[in-house]
Chains A and B, each alone.
Chain A
Amino acid sequence: MRELRIAAVADIHLGEDLRGHYRKKIEGIERRADVLLVGGDLTRHGTIAEGRVVAEELSGLPIPVVAVLGNHDYHSDCNQEIIALLRDAGIVVLDDESTVLSIDGVRLGVAGGKGFGGGFAGKCASEFGEPETKAFVRHTKEIAERWRRALKGLDADHRIVLSHYSPVKDTLMGEPPEIYPFLGSYMLAEAADAEGADLIIHGHAHAGTEKGVTPGGIRVRNVALPVIKHAYTVYCLEGDDC
């Protein structure tokens, strides 16, 4: 089994004003990577017009592209339409589900979705009190449950979780601690740790840091564009022969 080269980025926040810019930076990506994962916040306002720019920038690449949406992509209540137009452009969009790609006979499983907040163990919101608070926490809990199911059924040689929100605090370092509950939730990490994965990719924390690890030992990488400062970063998953 050969090594897999995973290109990843998040928070590209495209709009009419950046049309063509991102595409230029990813030309030739097929020489460096086998797949491109995009961890949400594809747009700024989540409009259909911006969704079309994203579809143009990411479609027709020689390697498969797997994406999830971010909070910005929900802002105009067109998230379902954006998912549909990205899928029409040949992009695999995960909305709390999984996919398996076959790359030279190596099966790469990717599971995930937008994710959500709530905070981290010891300093997190709980499903208690006002309906608004309960709904907030329940949203994350239901997402984590769907990820668990998606991972459980995922038969592949390598497994990656793709998210927008962060599963751990490590990669938020640089963000004000007061907003951690809006940047991620430990429940996302808990789901991945329960079912197992090789890597978790996320974005959303523009001022955070790249590298972290879950309590269960899964590597976490925050690939928000302002963090990695490159069009994408490449992570290599070793094959048997190395």
Chain B
Amino acid sequence: METPHYVAARVQRALAEDDRTAELGIRVDVRGEEIYLRGQVSCDERRRQIENVAREAAPGLRVHNEITLVEVQEAGEEEHL
């Protein structure tokens, strides 16, 4: 079996370098046959693409897509400096 450490590194690079994702901020953890994806994205389509790219980069592993969707709120509070 391939060392989980290197699998995680390969998936992380694929998420950054694949044109479908271009995501640098996704955390990838591999434990045995399971792979966990964590982070935040702004739409469901992007979340799905991340899962697809991860699955291709680590065939045979079970992908747990734990990425959260951040729904952008209108305007935040004011801060007086």
Contact = CB atoms under 8 A, between A and B. Distances in A.
Interface SS of chain A: mixed
A75 B16 CA distance: 11
Given A72-B22, A207-B25, A229-B72, A234 B79 contact: yes
Interface string B45-81: 1100000000000000000000000101111111111
A234 B22 contact: no
B9 interface: no
B19 A45 contact: yes
A233 B77 contact: yes
Contacts of A240: none
A225 interface: yes
Contacts of A228: 76
- Residue with the greatest number of chain A CB neighbours at <10 A, chosen from B24, B42, B46: B42
Interface residues of B, number: 21
Contacts, number: 75
Given A199-B81, A226-B40, A32 B22 contact: no
B75 A234 contact: yes
B22 A232 contact: no
B25 A231 contact: no
Contacts of B72: 21-22, 25, 225, 229-231
Contacts of A226: 25, 40, 70
B78 A230 contact: no
A32 B40 CA distance: 27
Contacts of B76: 228-234
A102 to B, nearest CB: 20
A237 interface: yes
A13 B42 contact: yes
A236 B76 CA distance: 13
Contacts of B25: 206-207, 226
A44 interface: yes
B81 A237 contact: yes
Contacts of B78: 5, 32, 233-236
Interface in B6-56: 19, 22, 24-25, 39-40, 42-43, 45-46
Interface of B: 19, 22, 24-25, 39-40, 42-43, 45-46, 70, 72-81
